[in-house]
Amino acid sequence: MRSETAQLIKLQDYKETPYAIDSVSLVFKLKPEATEVVSTLTLSRRDGTEAGTLLELDGDELTLVSVAVDGVALAQEAYQASATKLIIHNPPADTFQLEVVTKVNPTANTKLEGLYLSKGIYCTQCEAEGFRRITYYYDRPDVLSVFTTRVEADKASNPILLSNGNPQETGDIEGTNRHFAVWHDPHPKPAYLFALVAGDLACTSEKYTTASGKPVDLNIFVEKGNEDRTDWSMDSLIRSMRWDEKVFGREYDLDVFNIVAVSAFNMGAMENKGLNIFNDKYILADSDTATDTDYEGIETVVAHEYFHNWTGNRITCREWFQLCLKEGLTVFRDQEFSSDERSRPVKRIADVIRLKSRQFPEDQGPLSHPVRPTEYKEINNFYTATVYDKGAELVRMIKTILGADGFRKGMDLYFERHDGDASTIEDFIKCFEDANALDLTQFSRWYHQSGTPVVKARGSYDAAAKTYTLDLAQINAPTPGQTEKKPFFIPVRFGLVGPNGDDLSYSSVEGAQVNGDLLCLSEDKHTVVFHGIGSKPVPSLLREFSAPVKLETGLSREDQIFLMRHDVDPFNRWQAAQTLMTELLIELTRGEEPAGKEAFIEALGHMAEDESLDHAFRGFGLMLPSEQAIALEIGADVDTDAIGDARDAFSKEIGVTLYDTFKRLYNELDMPAAFSPDAISAGKRALKLRCLSYLGAAQTEESAALAKTHFDNADNMSDRMGALTILVIWQLAGAQEALKAFEERHKDTALAMDKWLSIAARAPSEDSVAAIRTLTEHPAFSWENPNRIYALIGGFLGGNTRGFHAADGSGYNYLAEITLQLDKTNPQVASRMVKSFGNWKNMNAERREKAKAALQGILEADQQLSTDVKEIVELCLD
C-alpha cells in the first residue's frame, strides 16, 4: 500500500544505483511498540556517478528519528524525509557514513512484512520489499552488502537473539534487564535476505559436517512446547544438505544454520542467509497432527529454503523481474531432491497435478504473464505459480534438451561464473550455451512468451510402406499484452507403442529434430515420418510431461485405455486415465451418455489392482480431475453445478460398479503396526483412502460404517483426516459425530484445527456462505493469522466450487467483502484471496454478471485499496 496510484515498474527502466553500500551496521533496540533501529551505512560513489548526485533511499511507513553524515547531524535543508523516501541532497564526494535512526511499531504491523511480532516472538520478513519497513535503504536485490547486526532486547522475554551469519558476541546491558547479541554475516547480500528473531524459543540441535569436513551447527527454534515436533524437519534438512553436495557439488558456507518457525507468516518460508524463517506449518510434524502430505511438504520446503543458499543467496537476482532465476531453479532443485528421496514417477505426477491446477488456470486467464515478466505494479503479486512452477518446468526442459551431463556442466559454470552476483536469466541461459556450445535463443522464448501452448498430434500408419507419420502442430493463442506469438522450442519425449505394449524402434526419421526418444518441435507445424515400423503403433507423446503444454492427441478411447494399461512410461499411464476421465466428465456435464464409459471403469479397476504399480501411483491413477480442472477444460460458459452433479454421479457410478474391487483392496492393504511417514507407507495409506472414498461415494450403509470405523481407529492424521473428509463430503451417517470428535481431540492444536476448518469449508450446503460466516466465529479461526484464513477461506474458494461459484453470486459477493476487510490489515493475504476471481470470464453469463459486479464493487468501495488488491482486480476486469 505505497501510493494512491501505483506506478508501473518496467524492466527496461533498470539502472544501477549511483552509490554502493560497502557495509551495514544495524542496532535493534527491540520494544513491542517502539523499536529503535540505528543503521550505519558506509556508502561510496560508483564509477560514473557525478559528485553531488542525490542519494535516494526507500522507506515504508517509517518514522525518522535522526539522520547524520560522517557523524554530523544533518541540517533540515540537507535532506528530505517522507514515509516512503529519504533523500540526501548533497552527499560527500567520496566514501562516507550515513547514520539513520528510525522507529517502528512491531505490534501494529499486521501486514507481516518488515519487523513484527508473532505470539510474542519478534521476527522479520523482508522479501520482497519489507526491509524498507525497518529502515531507509536501497531496498533492491542488486545492492549487496556485508551486514553486522546487534540485537538488544528484554532478557527474560527474549532469551534467544538471532540474526544472519555467525554469532560474534553476547552479553548483558549493564544496569538494565536487557541483553544483546552481535551477528556478522561475511557474505555480501541484498536487504531482502536480512533477518532477525528474538523471543523465548525452544531449540533442537544437530551437528553436521560438510563433504570437505567443515562443522556446522544446525538449530531449529520453535515456540516452547513444540520441540518434540521437529524431528522430521531436522532429518529433512540434513538429507537436503547431503543431497546438494552430491548432486550439485554445493556445500554450506557458515558455521551455523538456524531455522525458526513462527505461526504468523504470509507465505511458506523464507531463505534469509543463515537464518531461515518458516511458517510453522512447514516445520512442525508428528503422526497425530500431520498428514503424509504435510510430511512431504515439510521435506520439500525445508529443502527448498536450504537450496536457496546457493540459488538465490550466493547468486541472487538483479531485479525482481528475474525472480524465476532463483525460484524456478530452486523449485526444480527441490523437486529433484524429493524425486531422489521418494518415487520419481509418483513425484512427477504430483508436480504435474500442481502445475495443471495452479499454473494452467493462471495462464489461461487475465492474470497470465511470462515466467520472466517485463512490468508489474506490485511485486508481491508476482510470486506466482507461473514464476515458481512453470519456471521449474523451464529448467527441467533445459535438462531434458541437454541431458544430465550437459545440464550439470551448465550449472557448474553458472556457480563458477556468477557466485556473488546479482544475475539475470540471460546470464543463466548463457552458461548452458557456453558449457555445451549450443544456441538456446529459441528455447529462451519460454521465459518471455506467456500462455500454455496447445500441441495437436495426429498419426497415420502405412502398413505397405512401414511408415508411421505424425502431424504435429503447436497453437499459441494470444494472451494479455501479447497478441503475436512465435513458435516455442518444445521437447517431446515419446514412444511408439506396439501391439504387445513394447516400444517399437524405427530405422530412420525425418521432419523434425529427433534423437532417440526425444522429438523437438521448433516450427508451428511438423510432419514427422518414422521408417521401419512393422506394425501399427499407438503414439505415447509427452512422456514424463516433457514440456508444459496442453496435448491433444485425438486418440480413440480404445487407444487411451491401451496406453493406460500398457505404456512403459508410468506418467503417461496416469495421463491416459486422466484424459479419459476428463473427456467422460465433460460429456456427462453436457448430459450426454459417453461411449466407452464401461470399458474405462473396467480399466480403472485393473489399474487399482495392478501389483506392478506402486500404491501411491495407483492412488493418483484413481483420482478424478477436480471440478476446477473440468471447468478449465470446458473453458467457456461454465455451469459449476452441472460439473459438480456430473462428477458426483460419476464417482458414485465408479464406486458402485467397482464396489467389490475397492472393498477387497481396502481390506487386503495392511499397514505396519507402528506409524511411519515414509513414502511406501504413505502410498499405501493413500490408496486405501482412495478405495474408501469410492466406497463412500457409493453411499451404502456398509461404506458409511467403514469410513466411521476408519476414522475412529485412526492412529495418525492422514487416516483421521482422510476418513473425516469422506464422511463429510458424501454426507454419510456419523459425519457430524466425527467432526465433533476431531474438534474435541485437536482443539488446542492450531495446525490440526486448520484441517478441520478446511474440511468444514468444503461441506455441501444449501447456503455455503452462511456456513462459512458461522465458521469464522469458531474459536479456532482468526482473521489475524494467514494459516487460519488459507484453511477456511482458501478451503471455501478452492475446495467448494459449488459454494464459491453459486449461481446467485453469494460466493462472489462474500469474496469481495472479505477482500476489502482483509486489505485493511494484510494486503498480501487479501490479494492472494482475490486471485480466485482469476477465471471468472470462463463462467456462464449468469455467473459472469455476478462476478463482474463483485469485482467492480471492490474498486468502487469507499476505501483506499492496496496496490496488491487493486492490481489484481484491475487485471481481472481488463
Report CA Rg, the chain.
Answer: 28
Q: At closest approach, how far in Å is the CB of 326 from ligand TRP?
A: 7
Stretch that binds ligand TRP, among 160-168, 209-217, 264-272, 853-861 (CB under 6 A): 264-272
Backbone conformation region of residue 782, classed left if phi is above 0, alpha if psi is from -120 to 50, else beta: beta
CA distances from 348 to 323, 344, 352, 686 (A): 23, 6, 6, 16
Interface segment toward ligand TRP; rule CB under 6 A; list 226-234, 263-271, 341-349, 547-555: 263-271
Q: Name which of Zn ion, ligand TRP, none residue 267 binds, using a CB cut-off of 5 to 8 Å depending on partner kind.
A: ligand TRP
> How near is the Cβ of 828 to Zn ion at its closest, in Å?
15
Q: Does 125 bind ligand TRP (CB under 6 A)?
A: yes
Side-chain half-sphere of 138: how many Cα atoms within 13 Å?
27
Contact with ligand TRP (CB under 6 A) among 138, 183, 243, 383: 383
Beta-bridged to residue 170, according to DSSP, are 181
Instruction: Please choose which of Zn ion, ligand TRP, none residue 393 contacts, taking the beta carbon within 5 to 8 angstroms, the exact cut-off set by kind.
Output: none
Helices marked H in 486-626:
557-566, 570-589, 597-609, 615-621
- Taking contact as CB under 6 A, which single stretch among the options 265-273, 790-798, 803-811, 842-850 is the one that binds ligand TRP? 265-273
Q: Which range in 121-129, 364-372, 512-520, 788-796 contacts ligand TRP by CB under 6 A?
A: 121-129
- Interacting residue ranges for Zn ion, rule: CB under 5 A: 327, 330
How distant, in Å, are the alpha carbons of 320, 634, 650, 740 from that of 587?
A: 44, 10, 11, 39
* Residue that the C-alpha cell 526491509 belongs to: 131
Q: Which does 100 bind (CB under 5 to 8 A by kind): ligand TRP, Zn ion, none?
A: none
Question: Which CB sits closer to ligand TRP, 271 or 559?
Answer: 271
| DSSP collapsed to 3 states, 669-682 | CCCCCCCCCCHHHH
Q: Residue 380 binds which one of ligand TRP, Zn ion, none, with CB within 5 to 8 A depending on kind?
A: ligand TRP
Strand 215-223 and strand 256-262: pairing? parallel
**Would you give the binding string for ligand TRP spanning residues 423-462, x where CB under 6 A is met?**
----------------------------------------
Q: Which does 334 bind (CB under 5 to 8 A by kind): Zn ion, ligand TRP, none?
A: none
CB within 8 A of 134, min separation 6: which ones? 37, 102, 104, 114, 115, 124, 126, 194
Q: Work out how close the CB of 462 gets to ligand TRP at its nearest, in angstroms, rounded to a whole number.
A: 51
Q: Which of 99, 223, 305, 544 is catalytic?
A: 305
The entry of Zn ion, ligand TRP, none near residue 266 (CB within 5 to 8 angstroms by kind) is ligand TRP
**Min. distance of Cβ 178 from Zn ion in angstroms?**
35
Q: Considering only residues 613-652, where is the footprint of ligand TRP by CB under 6 A?
A: none
Pick from 267, 753, 815, 830: which binds ligand TRP (CB under 6 A)?
267
Do 381 and 367 contact (CB within 8 A), yes or no? no
Hey, is 365 helix, strand or coil? Answer: coil
Give the shortest CB-673-to-ligand TRP separation in angstroms. 38
Residue 150's binding partner out of Zn ion, ligand TRP, none, with CB under 5 to 8 Å set by partner kind: none
**Is the Cβ of residue 327 or residue 363 nearer to ligand TRP in the bound state?**
327
- The secondary structure of residue 7, as a DSSP letter, is P
d(CA 277, CA 260): 5
Q: Number of residues interacting with ligand TRP: please give it, by CB under 6 A.
A: 13
Which one of ligand TRP, Zn ion, none interacts with residue 526, CB within 5 to 8 A by kind? none
Amino acid identity at 375: E
Residue number with CB closer to Zn ion (88 or 303) = 303
Question: Residue 723 binds which one of ligand TRP, Zn ion, none, with CB within 5 to 8 A depending on kind?
Answer: none
- Residue (330 or 384) nearer to Zn ion, CB: 330
d(CA 382, CA 324): 10
Residues 700, 708 contacting (CB under 8 angstroms): no
Among 99, 127, 244, 868, binds ligand TRP (CB under 6 A): 127
- Residue 193 in the binding site for ligand TRP (CB under 6 A): no
The candidate with the shortest Cα–Cα distance to 183, out of 255, 132, 125, 112, is 255
| C-alpha to C-alpha distance for 552 and 557, rounded to whole angstroms | 13
Q: Does residue 521 belong to the site contacting ligand TRP (CB under 6 A)? A: no
Binds ligand TRP by CB under 6 A, chosen from 115, 198, 270, 753: 270
Question: By three-state DSSP, how is residue 35 classified?
Answer: strand
Residues whose CB is less than 8 angstroms from the CB of residue 772 and which lie 6 or more positions away in sequence, other chains included: 761, 792, 793, 796, 803, 814
Residue 380 binds to ligand TRP (criterion: CB under 6 A):
yes
Q: In Å, what is the CA distance from 300 to each residue of 177, 295, 339, 492?
A: 41, 9, 10, 27
Find which of Zn ion, ligand TRP, none residue 125 binds, CB within 5 to 8 Å per kind: ligand TRP
Q: Give me the residue whose beta carbon is nearest to ligand TRP.
A: 267
Tell me how far, at minimum, the Cβ of 164 lies from ligand TRP, in Å.
15
**Euclidean distance between CA atoms 582 and 356, whole angstroms:** 13
Q: Which of residues 313-372 bind ligand TRP (CB under 6 A)?
A: 327
How large is the angle between the packed helices 735-746 and 701-713, nearest 10 degrees?
10
Q: Do residues 314 and 306 lie in contact, with contact meaning Cβ atoms separated by under 8 Å?
A: no
From Zn ion, ligand TRP, none, which one binds at residue 299 (CB under 5 to 8 Å depending on kind)?
A: none
| Part of the chain binding ligand TRP (CB under 6 A), chosen from 122-130, 162-170, 411-419, 456-464 | 122-130
Cα–Cα–Cα angle for 222, 31, 122, rounded to 5 degrees:
20
Q: Quote the CA–CA distance of 52 and 55 in Å, as a whole number.
A: 9
Rule CB under 6 A: choose which of 143, 269, 581, 873 binds ligand TRP: 269
266 binds ligand TRP (CB under 6 A): yes
CA distance 401 to 394: 11
Q: Would you count residue 1 as binding ligand TRP (CB under 6 A)?
A: no
Q: Which helix (H) or strand (E) holds 55?
A: strand 55-58
Cβ pair 179, 162 in contact under 8 A = no
Is residue 552 annotated as a catalytic residue, yes or no?
no
695 binds ligand TRP (CB under 6 A): no
Shortest Cβ 635–ligand TRP spacing (Å): 30
Pick the binder of ligand TRP from 99, 271, 351, 362 (CB under 6 A): 271
The 211-250 site mask, x for binding ligand TRP (CB under 6 A), equals: ----------------------------------------
Nearer to Zn ion, 327 or 868 (CB): 327
Lay out the sheet containing 508-510: strands in order across.
Answer: 508-510, 525-531, 467-475, 454-462, 550-552
- CA pair distance 496, 457, nearest whole angstrom: 13
Q: Which residues are catalytic?
A: 305
Q: Which residues bind ligand TRP (CB under 6 A)?
A: 125, 127-128, 266-267, 269-271, 304-305, 327, 380, 383
